[in-house]
Amino acid sequence: MSSSSAAQSHPKHVVVIGFGMVAHRTVMEILAREPKTRITVIAEEAGHAYDRVALSSYVGSWDRGMLELDTLPSAVEVHNARATGIDRDTKLVTCSDGREVAYDHLVLATGSAPFVPPVPGHDLDGVFVYRTLDDLDALRERIDSAKAAGRMPVGAVIGGGLLGLEAANALRLLGAETHVVEMAPRLMPIQVDAAGGAVLAQKVEALGVAVHAGRATSSIAENPADPNTLTMTLGSDEGDEELAVDLVVFSAGIRPRDELAEPAGLERGPRGGFGVDRHCLTSDPAISAVGEAAAVDGTCYGLVAPGYQTAQIVADRLTGRDARTFVDPDMSTKLKLLGIDVASFGDAHGVAEGASELHVNDPVAGEYKKLVLAADGKTLLGGILVGDAAQYSVLRSLVGEPLPGSPMALIAPAAGEAPAIGVGSLPADAQICSCNAVSKGDICSAIADGSHSVGDIKTCTRAGASCGSCVGLIKQLLDAEGIEQSTAVCEHFAQSRAELFQIASSTGISDFSTFIERFGQGRGCEVCKPTLASIFATLNSADHVLDDGRAALQDSNDRFLANIQRNGSYSVVPRMPAGQVSAEQLIVCGEIAKDFDLYVKVTGAQRIDMFGARVDQLPEIWRRLVDAGMESGQAYGKSLRAVKSCVGTDWCRYGQQDSVKMAVDLELRYRGLRSPHKLKMGVSGCARECAEARGKDVGVIATENGWNLYVGGNGGATPRHAQLLAKDLDDVTLIRFIDRFLGFYVRTADRLQRTAAWMESLEGGLDHIREVVCEDSLGIAEDLEEFVGRHVDGYTDEWSRVLEDPEKLSRFVSFVNAPESPDPTIQFEKRDGRKVPLPAPSMPAVPVGAR
């Protein structure tokens, strides 16, 4: 093959075969250097290039547009066909549709294909691979067919590596009982060791995914008793096991797509791929190869970072830049698989001579951490993190460096006295972004040159533009330079939540498409869509959250006006103001729980929670509750949850004010008020504080002279005591101040910012809030009161309106194509007398024909 490193003259026409992530990056890199370069892309897969790393995020949204990469300039021609041959003498590429495309320089970016071992039955219906969006659509169709037939779909993934666990997660999200079959004795055998694999398997099985490690699939056969199912035979030293499944997914590795090499006379790598030198040139100086299809000095790399490096090398060479050479990439990985953090970096398995290892294995917490040290006991060589990978970016950057202080303190802080290592401890050449090979020095230089936001640094250096795992370190570097961070909601809106609120309020726009077209960019995401949906609901309480296409903007809970549980069922929480409920209403709740076999629990907020309802059962349950005079308790939204109360002067001999009436009044006043985060309130009739009001966002405590008002408390991961805002208030003044406080909070807080954090973020803190709320220092008190008043006047019960609207009711089905069919994947078991959900029920292996 060619070993020339000289920059080539600019080719007039560059043809790229393939349109994956690396092909797309190659085109963009060339155009960034020479915008007038003529480029043709031959794309076998229909549609635009998309982020294959985020393939699993397609499950649930089913929106291909969310994964699409940046649109190419219109001058780039994309020809949808498969390249079938290369004539190097005439410099022509032949396509499956008969077209011939001439090139001056050809870039082979054909990527890779899933490896499907020749297991008997690998070509049967119901056997899939996990590689493309079309593959996921096919999996979804197969699983939905099984559900519509009234049975629990069962899926098995062959391969317990990175892609295998991704595929398993997809099956799990689609509602199938999921099995993972791995020939090695542990999951992710390349990335983790035996101890790490054991902890990983424990966490995976806790999610309801069955792990079959140390077993090989010897055959797949049709089940004669049920032609719609398959039987897998799993072999091991302990004997064969049979598993009845609806579908099988092969995820046993990938192989480079190099079928064009031999007919064209191009050299191949020893394990496949187009053989290239470190300038990414094949044996033909007019042909380059990039990404997973390129065997650089005989080695193919399956990660996106080395692929992007090859794209940059080819772009430099084709546009006359100084030739760079391929640098062996850092193969460290950090992933969140099935919600579990897994990371490995450097010499993770301790193969270096004289290496020693430090281990922390906490099976209770589900965490395993290992550091590999050089013979000196101070230099970090690598490591493995399972369950908690928060320190991954810093540790990976310190590979090859002496560690400051005790190594054990890095993975078990309580065991050592050394302070936590931050980004400031890293040397300038430490790699921050492994996907795009960006060092700390590169980012600091970009900051010095005026890149003062994460977005600017992404544009300037590409750090954080791929997997995003290094964004936290980028923010730390910006903080270290004293640069104030952007409060933008997301990449689609440059404005903060408070600014979006003001825009929506002043323009009156309540349609997301119109709003993003005027004030944002792109199509929106899972961050900005529910944020705007909440703002629209706050400003227009008379409108329904499911009106006018708003259902698609909502989080899953708000979409069905119920709180989804771990097995896909929902909970039902009717409002009981201040815990008050009539005997008739209690009877109705009991009858519903009995008729629908729901688990019943009295919550800490003085309400009754009924668990285990299917989505198709929700309308009938709510119809009976509404007929009994009850309404939605908004347990699903970022809004007022409940107002807790003691019994006050009605019954308690210590009560100083009527706490029950005040709690009822407050709950009925602020019910349904959408806010940046959920809100809780409490009213206590005396200083004994039986309602625990000082642990709430708004707490009211009775005194001899009226009410003391406390604000900014909460439970949760970081409990806070509420602080005294004003004391000895009469009823009217108390409600007026609460109106102002809530109005100020809803208008100005960031997305998902609780009242305590919001107060701390304001300059002046509680004193400033007191000035605004009690003294009207900003002159907005009347406006804030009118804002809350409009909400009170416009409030209607959400579930009552759903029951009156056939179009809204049509959403509450398990399967669109089989609306009468209940979801068989929702299952329960009895445990200690309690009904509990099964997230993914385990079913025993059965012999052929038994199912």
592 to each of 278, 362, 418, 642, how far by Cα in Å? 70, 43, 57, 22
For residue 734, give the amino acid letter.
L
Pairing state of beta strands 241-245 and 226-235? antiparallel
> From CA 494, how far away is CA 77, in angstroms rounded?
32
From 386, 361, 354, 356, select the one nearest 371 (Cα to Cα): 356
Cβ neighbours of residue 502 under 8 Å, at least 6 residues apart?
A: 747
R_g over Cα of the chain:
30
Tokens of 62: 């089913």
> From CA 613, how far away is CA 587, in angstroms rounded?
18
> From CA 34, how far away is CA 630, in angstroms rounded?
67
Neighbours of 713 (CB within 10 A): 24
> From CA 800, how far away is CA 509, in angstroms rounded?
26
CA 211 to chain CA centroid, nearest Å: 23
From 585, 583, 565, select the one nearest 575 (Cα to Cα): 585
Question: 182 in the Ramachandran plot: left (φ > 0), alpha (ψ -120 to 50) or beta?
Answer: beta
DSSP 577: G
Cβ neighbours of residue 499 under 8 Å, at least 6 residues apart?
A: none
For residue 194, give the amino acid letter.
A
> From CA 47, how far away is CA 53, in angstroms rounded?
17
Decide: 78 and 101 in contact? Cβ < 8 Å.
Answer: no
Decide: 322 and 301 in contact? Cβ < 8 Å.
Answer: no
From 641, 673, 642, select the one nearest 791 (Cα to Cα): 673
Neighbours of 38 (CB within 10 A): 14
> Per the annotation, where are the binding residues for [4Fe-4S] cluster?
646, 652, 686, 690
SS3 assignment, position 477: helix
For residue 425, give the amino acid letter.
S
> Per the annotation, where are the binding residues for siroheme?
690
> From CA 143, how far away is CA 176, in angstroms rounded?
7
Backbone angles phi, psi at 671, to 5 degrees: -60, 140
Backbone angles phi, psi at 239, to 5 degrees: 115, 175
Show contacts of 258-264: CB within 8 Å, 24+ apart.
258/110, 258/293, 260/17, 260/83, 260/85, 260/86, 260/108, 260/110, 263/85, 263/86, 264/85, 264/86, 264/87, 264/88
SS3 assignment, position 8: coil
State the DSSP string of 795-828.
---HHHHHHT-HHHHTT--S-TT-TT---TT-EE
> From CA 397, how far away is CA 473, in angstroms rounded?
11
For residue 326, give the amino acid letter.
F
Tokens of 12: 């007039």
Round to the nearest angstrom and report the end-to-end CA distance of the chain. 57
> Per the annotation, where are the binding residues?
646, 652, 686, 690
